[in-house]
Amino acid sequence: SFAVTMALVTVLAVGAVAAGAHFGVFDFMKKMFGASGVLPEAEELVQQNLGSLKLEHTTLNVDEAVYDGGTLHVVYSITQNDADAPLTEQDAEDSQSAFQLAVAADAVHMECDSFWVNGTEYCMTNCSTVDTMIGENDGELLCYLDIQLASAGIVPDGDFTVKLPVAGGNGDYQTLDFTVQASGSDWQPVVLYSDNATVTLTSAFVSPVRIYATLRLEMNADASAQEADETFEDWAEAELVDAQGNRLAGMTELMPENLVDGESVDYSYTFLPTEAEEVYLAPTFINEQGEWAVDMTRALPLQ
């Protein structure tokens, strides 16, 4: 669940934290995963100072946002209005510190169980995460929110509005509102018919941050249980390759959804970015020589 994920991921860094630090989206990704794994041109996707919410004791601001076609990455700050020094680790953790008392007085929370996109409310999606870091400004805590969109079937077409319920509760929320710039998509589903299954590539997005693909796998009615197991496994171990079947980048996440044993499954893939001009998603199989290989006869073009 999202709550469990947050409990595992939300940590305060030590060392440089006490002095404060400027942390953007890619800095949080590097902190959480050891490396951001983005290409240099990913900087072009960074949007800054998108919206703010001023409360009696605190002010919240959307410092950075990056939408890469599959995930919305957001860094927003919570700042104590009357602070005259950067926070310390103790300030951030102590429920009786001036910062935490200000946060409590405004009923501000550092995580969200839901969000709005273009006016539609969604529960926080599976595998979304949150992290925090003390900021460089007086009384400032930075919050990083990584919201999985494409894997939940949320694929906005062009610019979209976001509302984060960051204060209040019991249905009476104050929201941090902002608009995210995004390229419009003319993506059309790609359907592949094989001997025993139909595979539909429902969405795909190639960006310098991450590469995403979602597909629907449906077995034919006359397919055997063994064929279903093998086909499910082939696509669960799919690779990102070029037109010749050469591996381009590693998979960072696979999310199976709506699994019906022996019948159907939805897969959402996340891969590291690549500079290749042609990108395919290809299932794997064991060939006649007993070797692992990618099956380009079933490859689906992402770009």
The pTM (predicted TM-score) of the whole model is 0.86
Q: Which two tokens stand for residue 255?
A: 């999310």
Q: Which two tokens stand for residue 223?
A: 């397919």
Helices (H) and strands (E) in the chain, counts: 5, 20
Using alpha carbons only, give the angle 188, 191, 195 rounded to the nearest 5 degrees: 175
pLDDT, position 186? 67
Q: Which two tokens stand for residue 258?
A: 């709506």
pLDDT, position 229? 95
Q: What is the pLDDT along the chain (303 residues), one digit of tens a residue?
A: 333 333 333 333 333 333 445 789 999 999 988 888 999 999 999 999 999 999 999 999 999 999 999 999 999 999 999 999 999 999 999 999 999 999 999 999 888 899 999 999 999 998 899 999 999 999 999 999 999 999 999 988 889 999 999 999 777 899 999 999 987 666 788 999 988 999 999 999 999 999 999 999 999 999 999 999 999 999 999 999 999 999 999 999 999 999 999 999 999 999 999 999 999 999 999 888 888 899 999 999 998
Q: How far apart are CA 131 and CA 142, in angstroms?
A: 8
Q: Which two tokens stand for residue 187?
A: 């993506």
Cα separation values, 256 from 56, 136, 244, 296, Å: 44, 40, 27, 22
Q: How far apart are CA 236 and CA 212, in angstroms?
A: 14
